[in-house]
Structure 1
Amino acid sequence: MITSRLQQFESTFFSELPALFAEKGLGPDGVLAVLTYARGLQDWQSGGHEWHMRSSRYTKARPNRTEAGPPGWLHGPSGLGTTGASVKALLDVTGGARRRRRHANVPHPVGSSVIPEFYLPYRNVLNPHLAGARERLIEWNREMGILDEGIWWEEKARGYDFALCSAGIDPRCSAQALDISAGWLSWGTYADDLYPLVFGTPRALAAARAQTQRLRACMPLDLSAPPPAVNAMERGLADLWRRTAAPMGTRGREMFRSAMDQVLDSRLWELDKQAANRVPDPVDYLEMRRVTFGSPMTISLARMAHMDVVPEQVYGSSAMQSLQAAAFDHSAVMNDVFSYQKEAETRASCTTC
């Protein structure tokens, strides 16, 4: 795990910082300041790792090895804090082989998954407006052009049955609220299907960032007219934002917009991993899965109905944050148990499998 985390830092340094420099428009002085800070972090990590390897607090004394080792030049720099620069560490089984494996994931057969019985501690109740919401959602997809771009078609959209999901999430909301909720689930899944296919497969990361900026422009806090939509994803987001944000106050819009920004950023994170063909570490996967699953968007919609009842401090408490994280993790991992075979056999580089 230590090796993997150090390699993740290295990957961030070399592959993500240059794009951020360009995105933020940093000049030479700004770039130098960031690189100097990052180098300090690298030295700190390397020195800390070296101390842990040498300290008797964490390791037992080991006999001196007398067997012949690799050529002297392969060892690289020596001394406290230089382990991270070792060429040997780059090539041996704990460094190079693991690095290659992490970037060599390709679609491969895994067979059918064993689906366990998931415990539900309460009775499932569905919204009485479900039947009408199903038909209205298909019509909305058609009006937005989602069924005309070759990624989705009517049979596929009906098979997802997002209205059923919304009907279970909020069994007591109005028909109008149910339509909006189902629309968000449909739009989010469509974007989740589109990004890896349109931007991930050809490694079009710059185009993905440009598209993401256009999507942000579809959600003006002052509800002013967004730029003219050029595709179904923009058209659908602009429509859902207008219908959702119009009844909200300023605070509610800001909270929901912040949640949507997190979801959009997570799409780019997925594409970066897909472009590098890198399987994320478990800790990264679980933390980011909460966002790629759309949980910030879902929880924000749920909180809107209680903003004047539940104090903000309650939602910000560590206990509530832990409960939300547990709910996010359970829902996302349960979803991934069902979708693992499809993702592993068809989209192995996708980070949501």
Structure 2
Amino acid sequence: MSIAHELPVTMEIPALWCPVEHRLHPEAEGADDRLFLWARKFDLIRSDAAADRFYNAGYGYFCAATYPRARRLDLMSEWNAYNWILDDLLDEGHADTTHEDRIRICREVLAQMPPDMNAPRPTSPLTAAAADLWERSARPMSVAWRKRYVAHYADWVGQSMLQHVPDEPRDAASLYTHLRRRRIHSGCELSFDLIETGNLSEVPEEITSVDAYEAVRASASDAICWTNDVYSIRKETARGSYDHLVPFLLDQQSTDWPGALASASAMIETATRDYLAACRDLRALRPLFGMPDEAWSRVEDSMNDLGLWIAGSLHWHRWSPRYSVVETTPDGRTPSYIEWHVA
């Protein structure tokens, strides 16, 4: 991808439309402190640079905003922080790893998430933390939920690996191809699955594979991951990564950065409106499923929780320094806060 312009020193993020009011979990206070202790316990945070970045990002606060109804907020925080650490290792630590290293890391992590709960013994901080999270998350859930989560997790880490395949040319993608890849790389699907174990309430299996329900999740995912793309421009471009929505639009539309941001903002609003329309469509189809009220209430909860995720994610992105404070590294080298957790 050829980027026509350098990123401006100052650039205003446009106001993004969201009709859902964000909420905070009642246990939001202290969430970051509890999360930091968990990360230290599993040796996921070692250096001062990593500790400062982890704590200041407010991952516990993020989950208090995106999972405001969760019965198990700390578990949600630990999963999301773990996934951010893994994502940073795969995405920003690629200068210090080979493609074979990244394949091995992903395979070892996925091995800790067997649907039959018969995982190998962990051999590193990264796998030990994964084993802890999987045991507490998957044990109360159905085998169907476990398989769904693992499939979404494999999609996510697989797409992360594809971004740094050595000597592999990436053809100029169409908008459709770019958005398909971005949706998978966002990790939203696995984050949505976590809503169910966080609430200890599964969406009925007969609904999870229905196109109308998948449309609700897909449109919510688009709104969320494109919002991330708007706020993460400086971090991604500082790492030489342009495989996100705003740089893509900048290149494809032959526009400038403000123009690309305006286009992305309009797409986020469209995706959010699509989410609302998809919810209405699914509700209109309820008579076809013949579900009792209790089962359908879980479907309604899921739709509402996705709306809260959209609102909570936007609220956190406006607040968190994760993307606004960027460490500059020479020659694309690995940032100081990336740590090696596989041994």
Once the two structures are TM-superposed, the CA of residue 282 in structure 1 deviates from its matched residue by 3.1
Name the aligned partner's letter for residue 290 of structure 1.
R
Once the two structures are TM-superposed, the CA of residue 179 in structure 1 deviates from its matched residue by 0.6
- Confirm or deny that 1:268 pairs with 2:166: no
Partner residue in 2 for 1:208: 102
Q: Contact between 1:130 and 1:167, CA under 8 Å: does it hold in 2?
A: yes
Provide the alpha-carbon RMSD of the alignment.
Answer: 2.9
Unaligned runs of 5+ in 1: 1-101
Aligned-partner Cα distance in 2 for 1:197–1:309: 34
Q: What do the CA deviations read for 1:257-303 (whole angstroms, capped 9, x no partner)?
A: 22211112112122228965777543232112222221121121224
- Report the secondary structure of 1:114's partner residue: coil
Name the aligned partner's letter for residue 52 of structure 2.
E
Q: Contact between 2:160 and 2:185, CA under 8 Å: does it hold in 1?
A: yes
Q: Contact between 2:73 and 2:198, CA under 8 Å: does it hold in 1?
A: no
Identify the match of residue 36 of structure 2 among 138, 150, 165: 138
How many percent of aligned residue pairs carry the same amino acid? 23
Aligned-partner Cα distance in 1 for 2:194–2:102: 26
Q: Contact between 2:70 and 2:195, CA under 8 Å: does it hold in 1?
A: no
Distance 1:339-1:244 versus aligned 2 partners, 3 A rule: same
Once the two structures are TM-superposed, the CA of residue 256 in structure 1 deviates from its matched residue by 1.6
Partner residue in 2 for 1:284: 177
Unaligned runs of 5+ in 2: 246-343
Partner residue in 1 for 2:189: 296
Partner residue in 1 for 2:112: 218
Distance 1:275-1:112 versus aligned 2 partners, 3 A rule: farther
Q: Contact between 2:23 and 2:68, CA under 8 Å: does it hold in 1?
A: yes
Aligned-partner Cα distance in 2 for 1:108–1:315: 43
Partner residue in 1 for 2:67: 170
TM-score normalised according to structure 2 size: 0.63
Q: What do the CA deviations read for 1:187-245 (whole angstroms, capped 9, x no partner)?
A: 111111111333x2257112211221111111122223433322x32222121111111
- Confirm or deny that 1:183 pairs with 2:78: yes
Once the two structures are TM-superposed, the CA of residue 342 in structure 1 deviates from its matched residue by 2.5
Aligned-partner Cα distance in 2 for 1:110–1:274: 30
Partner residue in 1 for 2:17: 119
1:1-353 residue pairs with structure 2 within 5 A?
Answer: 102=1, 108-148=6-46, 153-174=50-71, 177-198=72-93, 200-201=94-95, 204-230=98-124, 232-272=125-165, 276=169, 280-304=173-197, 310-344=203-237, 346-349=238-241, 351-352=243-244
Aligned length: 245
Name the aligned partner's letter for residue 259 of structure 1.
H
Q: Contact between 1:270 and 1:350, CA under 8 Å: does it hold in 2?
A: no
Aligned-partner Cα distance in 2 for 1:226–1:248: 20
Name the aligned partner's letter for residue 11 of structure 2.
S
Q: Contact between 1:260 and 1:297, CA under 8 Å: does it hold in 2?
A: yes
Name the aligned partner's letter for residue 163 of structure 2.
E
Once the two structures are TM-superposed, the CA of residue 327 in structure 1 deviates from its matched residue by 0.8
Larger radius of gyration: 1
TM-score normalised according to structure 1 size: 0.62
Name the aligned partner's letter for residue 282 of structure 1.
L
Once the two structures are TM-superposed, the CA of residue 331 in structure 1 deviates from its matched residue by 0.6
Name the aligned partner's letter for residue 30 of structure 2.
G
